[in-house]
Amino acid sequence: MRKEVLEKIHHGHMGIAKCRERAAQSVWYPQIGKDIEERVTNYCRQCLEERASHPKEPLLPTPLPNRPFEKVALDLFELKGRSFVVVTDYYSRYPEIGYFWSPNQKASTLVTKLKIIFARHGIPETVVSDNQTNLTSHEFQRFAQDLGFQHITSSPHFSSGNGAAECRVKLSKRL
């Protein structure tokens, strides 16, 4: 009888969560949740074919650089109407925060701020950032080429790809 109940609950191939909701409204027996999950994931041919073929990849840790400020993460943020840039060292996790006196975040203003930070700590070999307009501009690319660092951008609409900087932005806003 359990087999027929599972077939009726699973009719429509809505997945594990929907089947459990349907079961909660109509029937219960010990381990019904486990049976539903097993049926959907292992025995339903249609659900197996429709399941996403590309499971999420596990997060890979970023290798530790050999020295401080060899690789840095960069992000821009606003807080209470003021604009800031945060540069985070991958080696020590030390954040350097720069404040924009003017309300604009043009590439030229950013380049000036980064020159000050790089003069203090040294020019990194790699700068990781997101795809904000002023970070992908020709002026910023020329700046990277002139100073000789590699500029790597994270995937668009995937801010966690630049997790080191995003974490520092979150901490900075809390301060």
Q: Are residues 37 and 101 in the same domain?
A: no
What is the distance between the alpha carbons of residues 26 and 6, in angstroms, rounded to a whole number? 12
Q: Are residues 82 and 136 in the same domain?
A: yes
Measured from the Cβ of residue 58, the count of other Cβ atoms closer than 10 Å reads: 5
Question: Residues 6 or more apart from 167 whose CB is under 8 A from it?
Answer: 88
Give the containing element (helix H, strand E) for 126. Answer: strand 126-129
Does the pLDDT at position 136 exceed 70?
yes
More confidently predicted of 110 and 134: 110
Q: Are residues 37 and 77 in the same domain?
A: no
Number of domains in the chain: 2
Q: Are residues 170 and 106 in the same domain?
A: yes
Rg value, the chain, Cα: 25
> pLDDT by residue (tens digit) across 38-91?
888 777 777 777 665 556 667 677 788 999 999 998 988 888 888 888 899 989
99 residue type, one letter: Y
Percent of the chain with pLDDT over 90: 24
Burial class (CB in 10 A: 0-12, 13-18, 19+), 34: exposed
What is the distance between the alpha carbons of residues 83 and 173, in angstroms, rounded to a whole number? 12
Measured from the Cβ of residue 147, the count of other Cβ atoms closer than 10 Å reads: 14
Domain that holds residue 121: 71-174
> Could you tell me if residue 138 is inside a domain?
yes
Q: What is the CATH number of the domain that holds 128?
A: 3.30.420.10
Question: Residues 6 or more apart from 21 whose CB is under 8 A from it?
Answer: none
The model's confidence at residue 116, banded by pLDDT at 50, 70 and 90, is very high
> Could you tell me if residue 66 is inside a domain?
no
Mean pLDDT of the chain: 82
Contact 105, 83 (CB under 8 A): yes
More confidently predicted of 47 and 99: 99
